Chains A and B, each alone.
Chain A
Amino acid sequence: MLSLEGLQIVQDDFRLEADLTLAAGARIAVIGPSGAGKSTLLGAIAGFQPAQAGRILWHGDRIDTLPPGRRPLSMLFQDQNLFPHLTVAQNLGLGLDPSLRRVDHRAVDAVLERVGLSGLSARKPAQLSGGQQSRAALARCLLRARPILLLDEPFAALGPALKAEMLALLAETAGPALVLMVTHDPGDARAFADQTVLVAEGRAEPARPTATLLDHPPPALAAYLGQG
């Protein structure tokens, strides 16, 4: 169970508050107007965005005092998810051991097969297509097998078909992890997430069933969706 208790992030005249709890294993969409703080919220949970007040707990233990790499989570960024000078296998191996000394290569090969990248382990990221790069980055998250997975629009640059494919792959492979996915697309939220966190007007609201929220949007969301 991930709890944000009285979390406050203040940056110049930007302000975001969050007071909510998310169940382990849930699929959560994070939706809201541009600049409302969706990425900031994920950044705070991951440890890249310092909070001015509040606590972040996982199953009752504080995690907001830990450095990003020690938190029980993996994160996919909008870009720069792979080191261009390392091979696909090395990029994945970093998920098992950051020094690349104790890497189980069979595990790497197995997860590559799961995401449909068999035989590409020796390639550099520049030799992969955009969809393949997304798959490789997702494969590393699967290898790390942390109980929380944060997705900051990692598939935004992909076409609709590829994006749908990645969402399906994600749903199939994420297993018991709690997944938080920032998205601009209400369709993605409906397809992937049973619950949605609305980030608007300086607040991250507690999660609500996605269908209910999208069918009866509050004014801020309605304006964003173009239904105002």
Chain B
Amino acid sequence: MARRAGALIAAGLGVLTLGPVAVVIWHSGGVAPALSAADWAALRFTVLQAALSALASVTCAVPLARALARRRWPGRGALIAALGAPFLLPVIVAVLGLLAVFGRAGIVNQVLAGLGLPPVSIFGLGGVVLAHVFLNMPLATRMILQGWQAIPAERLRLAESLGFGPADLWRHIEIPMLRAVLPGATLAIFAICLTSFAVVLVLGGGPAATTVELAIYQAVRFDFDLGRAAALAVLQVAACGAGVALAAMVTQGAGFGAGLDRMQPLPAPGGWRLICDVVVITAATAFLAAPLIAVALRGVIGLPDLPGAVWPALGASLLVAGLAAPLAVGAALTLALAVAQGARWQGAAAMLPLAGSSLVLGTGLFLAIRPFANPPDLALPVTVLVTAMIALPFAYRLILPHAQALQADYGRLAAALDLRGWAAFRLLILPRLRRPLGFATGLCAALAIGDLGVIALFATEDGVTLPLVIQRLMGAYRTDAAAATALLLVIAAFGVFCICDRWGRADAEP
């Protein structure tokens, strides 16, 4: 049954992803305009910054996830929950926080100046990568940490009984786990960074540091040159498609087999390894907390300036998240179960939205709707749909390994007992996949609340969401009011994420 439902969803995704691109191309009269040297430079910069950002994020995340997996201290749970925070932060607000710490007049440069050292610049490639690491390293850590937690207790007990030291554990258990988890994590971040544009808008820009997404935005927004936007969109699709194919080739199962639900803590070696873990956790916490604190302080100062328009916008944002997150996670779960049962091509369909950016999909839908209705009237439904599609690949990536393990371990038993449909969902899928489902739902809801993409193309005065209010306040140079609204938005996004994630971990954490 999951296979048939999966096929339907996959077909719908195909239409919704490829349709808008086709509409843009058709509307522009074919991909006629030749790509200029500047467009190729944009492609090169896009791939370079995304690759560096993904590698740097994952490289930083592995030691942090390992330290979190094997150490226990009061506040560990809070730190793991807080690792969602930078990802929940609207990108533009995260950039403001980073500017407060690493910018020209930021804390870091003040310290450097005090020491008589030359200042560092946050603008250009380095700043773009720094911002992407700030935004994505926590996500990578959470994904890798789930891999560590998924190592069965039986395997750890066997390792201990064989007298494995930390190095043996690394070689025989942790590396195979990482080989299964890292390609997915790296690809997810690579894809996020390929289509990232708010970061590049502020920290990049100019001929040397423009991404394809930013070029599409400029073509649509400033020039309304849809032919060039379409050509750039095809470039974007090609780059993302290559990334997806690459990751599919290197991903492999860890083959750990099933374990009964006994809890077995990871060995926590002392000595220099303990010191390393403490340093890693402290440094990561400082790196991630400082910009958040800067934003929070600024927001508290601006609270008296909070405009009345934020409350209906908050309602609209919560509505979008409440509809888009279940839509994305439900579709992702159905596809993951279908793929786990052997329907391989549906996995490719789940990754399709990665190839289309929010702006490409939005522009295509805008043009598709215009003959039949006034696009601003449909701003919220379109935002729900596009946000759910953009979030779906991440939810799918998070759920798939767990769905595959579920099928490998209990698929035969469920089939033998004729456990199908709603009963299988209630008695098998929901209890066994509760943790990744809660995390994925929280993630999608946070993405939906903080997303500023398609809504900007559609909305006029009514039906605006919180990120759009912030953008408009910033455009009007009401920085303190913008920061205060951002604070409200962060609280909403973080709150929704916490509720979902806590639901998922309710009966899983010791």
> Which residues in A have some Cβ–Cβ distance to B below 8 Å?
46-48, 67-70, 74-75, 77, 79-81, 83-86, 90, 94-95, 98-100, 124-126
Is B413's CB under 8 angstroms from A74's CB? no
A32 to chain B, nearest CB (A): 22
Is A125's CB under 8 angstroms from B412's CB? no
Interface flags for B409-449 (1: CB within 8 Å of A; 0: not) read 11011011111101110111001100000000000000000
Which residue in A79, A85, A99 is a CB contact (below 8 Å) of B431?
Answer: A85
Question: B260: CB under 8 A from chain A?
Answer: yes
Q: A67-B418, A68-B415, A80-B413 are in contact. Are A85 and B423 (CB under 8 A)?
A: no
A80 to chain B, nearest CB (A): 6
B510 to chain A, nearest CB (A): 13
Is A85's CB under 8 angstroms from B261's CB? yes
Is A94's CB under 8 angstroms from B417's CB? yes
Residues of A within 8 A of B428 (CB): 83
Is B418's CB under 8 angstroms from A100's CB? no
Most chain B CB within 10 A, of A67, A94, A95, is at: A94
Contacts of B221-271 to chain A: CB distance below 8 A: 258, 260-262
Complex CA gap A70/B416 in Å reads 8
The residue on B at minimum CB distance from A124 is: B261
Residues of A within 8 A of B261 (CB): 84-85, 124, 126
Residues of A within 8 A of B420 (CB): 69, 98
Complex CA gap A47/B414 in Å reads 13
Residues of A within 8 A of B419 (CB): 69, 94, 98
Which residue in A69, A84, A99, A124 is a CB contact (below 8 Å) of B416?
Answer: A69
Complex CA gap A85/B427 in Å reads 9
Most chain B CB within 10 A, of A86, A98, A100, A126, is at: A98
Is B418's CB under 8 angstroms from A48's CB? no
The residue on A at minimum CB distance from B263 is: A126
Is A46's CB under 8 angstroms from B413's CB? no
Complex CA gap A100/B418 in Å reads 12
28 contacts between A and B (CB under 8 A): A47-B415, A67-B418, A68-B418, A69-B418, A69-B419, A69-B420, A70-B418, A80-B410, A80-B413, A83-B410, A83-B427, A83-B432, A84-B260, A84-B261, A85-B261, A85-B432, A94-B417, A94-B427, A98-B417, A98-B418, A98-B420, A98-B423, A98-B424, A98-B427, A99-B422, A99-B423, A100-B423, A124-B261
Interface residues on B, range: 20 to 34
Is A77's CB under 8 angstroms from B431's CB? no
Q: A80-B409, A85-B432, A99-B422 are in contact. Are A126 and B260 (CB under 8 A)?
A: yes
Q: Which 9 A-B pairs have the closest CB atoms?
A: A69-B418, A99-B423, A68-B415, A98-B419, A126-B260, A85-B431, A84-B261, A84-B260, A94-B417
Question: Majority SS of interface residues in chain B?
Answer: helix
Is B416's CB under 8 angstroms from A46's CB? yes
Is A100's CB under 8 angstroms from B427's CB? yes
B261 to chain A, nearest CB (A): 5
Complex CA gap A18/B280 in Å reads 61
Which residue in B262, B415, B427 is a CB contact (below 8 Å) of A48?
Answer: B415
The residue on A at minimum CB distance from B426 is: A99
A129 to chain B, nearest CB (A): 12
Residues of A within 8 A of B412 (CB): 48, 68, 77, 80
Complex CA gap A75/B417 in Å reads 9
The residue on B at minimum CB distance from A43 is: B412
Is A81's CB under 8 angstroms from B413's CB? yes
Complex CA gap A124/B260 in Å reads 10
Is B418's CB under 8 angstroms from A86's CB? no
Residues of A within 8 A of B432 (CB): 83, 85
Complex CA gap A125/B261 in Å reads 9
Is B416's CB under 8 angstroms from A74's CB? yes
Complex CA gap A55/B305 in Å reads 78
Complex CA gap A95/B418 in Å reads 9
B432 to chain A, nearest CB (A): 6
Residues of A within 8 A of B262 (CB): 126
Q: A98-B423, A100-B423 are in contact. Are A83 and B413 (CB under 8 A)?
A: yes
Complex CA gap A145/B432 in Å reads 28
Interface flags for B480-494 (1: CB within 8 Å of A; 0: not) read 000000000000000
Q: A83-B428, A84-B261, A126-B262 are in contact. Are A77 and B413 (CB under 8 A)?
A: yes
Complex CA gap A83/B426 in Å reads 13
Extra 14 A-B pairs, beta carbons < 8 Å, given A99-B423, A100-B423: A47-B415, A67-B415, A69-B420, A70-B418, A80-B258, A81-B413, A83-B413, A83-B428, A95-B417, A98-B423, A99-B422, A100-B427, A125-B260, A126-B260
Most chain A CB within 10 A, of B416, B418, B427, B428, is at: B416
Residues of B within 8 A of A69 (CB): 415-420
Complex CA gap A61/B142 in Å reads 53
The residue on B at minimum CB distance from A137 is: B413
B51 to chain A, nearest CB (A): 39
B233 to chain A, nearest CB (A): 43
The residue on B at minimum CB distance from A85 is: B431
A143 to chain B, nearest CB (A): 11
Residues of B within 8 A of A95 (CB): 417
Residues of B within 8 A of A47 (CB): 415
Residues of A within 8 A of B410 (CB): 80, 83
Is B416's CB under 8 angstroms from A75's CB? yes
Complex CA gap A77/B408 in Å reads 13
Complex CA gap A98/B427 in Å reads 9
Residues of A within 8 A of B416 (CB): 46, 68-69, 74-75
A126 to chain B, nearest CB (A): 4
Complex CA gap A70/B432 in Å reads 24
Interface flags for B324-364 (1: CB within 8 Å of A; 0: not) read 00000000000000000000000000000000000000000
Complex CA gap A79/B259 in Å reads 11
